[in-house]
Structure formats: C-alpha cells, structure tokens
Amino acid sequence: MLELPVELIIAHATPAVRAAKAATSTVPIVMVGIGDPVAYGIVPSLMRPGGNVTGMSNGLHECAPRGLRLFKDIVPAAARVALLFPALAPRFFGASRAWLRSMESVALTLRMTPTTYYANTDNELREVFAAMEGRTDVVAVVPDQGMLLHRRVIVSAGLERKIPVICPQPEFVLDGALLSFAPDRTQIHRRAAYYVDAILKGAKPSDLPVEEPSKSWLMLNLKTAKHLGIEMPGSFLMRADQLVE
C-alpha cells in the first residue's frame, strides 16, 4: 500500500516495477527499462497492457540474439557459444528462460553449439571460465542485473583466457567485453516522458500500448579485439555507433 498520495509512479528496471505493481492497482505506473514485461508477468500483452501499468520495454531480449549474429559476422569460424546465467535465473524468471530459448535457437541457426553455464559469485565465475577454456568460442552473458554487477570479473576472466565476451549491456564493453548490441537508452527515457504527459492529461494506462525501442546501439571494443587477435572488417566498423579504444 502506498504511503503517499501520488498521481503517477515512474518505475525503472524490473525490481522497481514489481514493487510498484505490488503496492497499488490504481495509481498509474510508467515502467522504464524492463526487459520483457509479458514474460515477467507485468502485463498480459504489449498491445493491451490492461490494468494500471504501461511504458517502455528495453528490448534486451531481442537485442541479445542479434548480438550473437553480429559476432558470427566478425568470427565466421565460431562454432560454440557459452550462455552465462546467474544460478537461479532460468528456474525463477520467465524473461531469462525466454532469453535462453531465443539464444539457443539463434545459435543453432548459426550452426553453433550452445552450452549453458551458471554462476553467482566471483569465485564461481572464475571457475566457470576455467571450465570454458578450450570449449567455447564466445561467451554470451544474460542481460541480468546480477551479472552486470559482476561484469568486471566476467570481462577480466574472459580477457585472461582470451575468450570473447558479448552482452547487450554497454557497460560490459566499456570494461573490456568485445561487443554489445543494446537498445538506445536515450530514446527509451525520452519516450517514457510521452507516457507521463499522456497520463497526466487524462489517458488511461490500459489504453496505452507498451512500446519497445526502435533504435539500437552497436558498441565495439577495439583494444579487446586486438588482444583476442580478432580483426574487425572495415565495413563492420562503419556499422558501429561507438568504438572503444
């Protein structure tokens, strides 16, 4: 139950959206940056959200498979992909299961063999990378907040063992991962303002379809590519929105 008489709630990321929805079924909620609101059970559908929740999905569940396709364009010989999860994610979170299914599907389409690994702590992550050595050509990290918090360990373990790391979260690339293909966060936040304006002017959240970002952002780390011995084609570099050197 809400303690303050607010007219609208803006909730950023999945935990905040869940908490806001649990607190009220009447106050309008504009969500910003949630992965897959249908898979998470926040709304029944994007076109007809119903209830008091609407807003912007971050589209990460769609960007991740495209990121793997981009990696395959850079390294056509890659034949094995490791899918890295926190230990509990596939069993408890619908969006993580959906991500796993989509990644396995695109891997098979690309003629790559997917293998799933689980880890929660820094030590477990280091052990997982030791187990991956010689058994995978790339690590794809689930876009999960827990993995984001451990990104420096994940990236350093990949660099140490010369295993490319990709993830649809640009923070990974800034810390040394090879590639990220992510939704444009600026667009997401600007579009969220549209929902706030519309609702405060009288629109009902149930009548406003949930939107996904129409723009994506490709980031490449050239220093990491050089360390891994991966040559980036010039035509591919021209497609990048940001190069980290």
pLDDT digit string (tens) for 7-50?
999 998 778 888 899 999 999 999 997 877 887 889 999 999 99
Phi, psi of 117 (to 5 degrees): -125, 150
What integer pLDDT is reported at residue 109 of this predicted model? 96
Please compute the mean of the pLDDT values over residues 74-94 and round it to a whole number.
80
Query: If you write DSSP's letter for every residue of 147-186 in order, what string do you get?
Result: HHHTHHHHHHHHHHTT--EE-S-HHHHHTT-SEEEEE-HH
The answer to which of 32-36, 187-191, 224-228 has the lowest mean pLDDT is 32-36
Residue 95 has pLDDT above 70, yes or no: no
Domain residue extents for the chain: 9-58+184-215, 60-182+217-244
What integer pLDDT is reported at residue 115 of this predicted model? 96
Token pair recorded at residue 233: 């084609």
pLDDT band at residue 91 under the 50/70/90 scheme: very low
Q: Is 53 exposed, middle or buried (0-12, 13-18, 19+ CB in 10 A)?
A: buried
Question: Looking at the domain covering 60-182+217-244, what would its CATH class be?
Answer: alpha beta
pTM reported for the whole predicted model: 0.85
What integer pLDDT is reported at residue 93 of this predicted model? 57
Please compute the mean of the pLDDT values over residues 94-117 and round it to a whole number.
87
Query: What b/e readout covers 55-80, taking b as 16+ CB neighbours within 10 angstroms?
Result: bbbbbbbbbbbebbebbbebeeebee
Task: Please report how many Cα atoms fall inside a 13 Å half-sphere around the Cα of residue 191, on the Cβ side.
Answer: 22
Contacts of 206 by beta carbon, 8 Å cutoff, 6+ apart: 48, 49, 50, 51, 52, 54
Contact criterion met (CB below 8 Å) for 152 and 126:
no
Contacts of 85 by beta carbon, 8 Å cutoff, 6+ apart: 96, 100, 116, 117, 118, 119, 142, 144, 147
Please compute the mean of the pLDDT values over residues 202-226 and round it to a whole number.
93
pLDDT band at residue 92 under the 50/70/90 scheme: very low
For residue 211, the 8-state DSSP code is B
For residue 28, the 8-state DSSP code is -
Q: Name the CATH code of domain 9-58+184-215 (choices 3.40.30.10, 3.40.50.2300, 1.10.287.1060, 3.20.20.70).
A: 3.40.50.2300
What integer pLDDT is reported at residue 14 of this predicted model? 79
Q: What is the pLDDT of residues 159-177, one digit of tens each?
A: 999 999 999 889 999 999 9
Can 9-58+184-215 and 60-182+217-244 be said to share one CATH topology?
Answer: yes
Separation CA 40–CA 13 (nearest Å): 12
Residue 90 has pLDDT above 60, yes or no: no
The distance of Cα 211 from the centroid of its chain, to the nearest Å, equals: 16
pLDDT band at residue 88 under the 50/70/90 scheme: low
Contact criterion met (CB below 8 Å) for 29 and 17:
yes
Angle at 21 between CA 169 and CA 47, to 5 degrees: 70
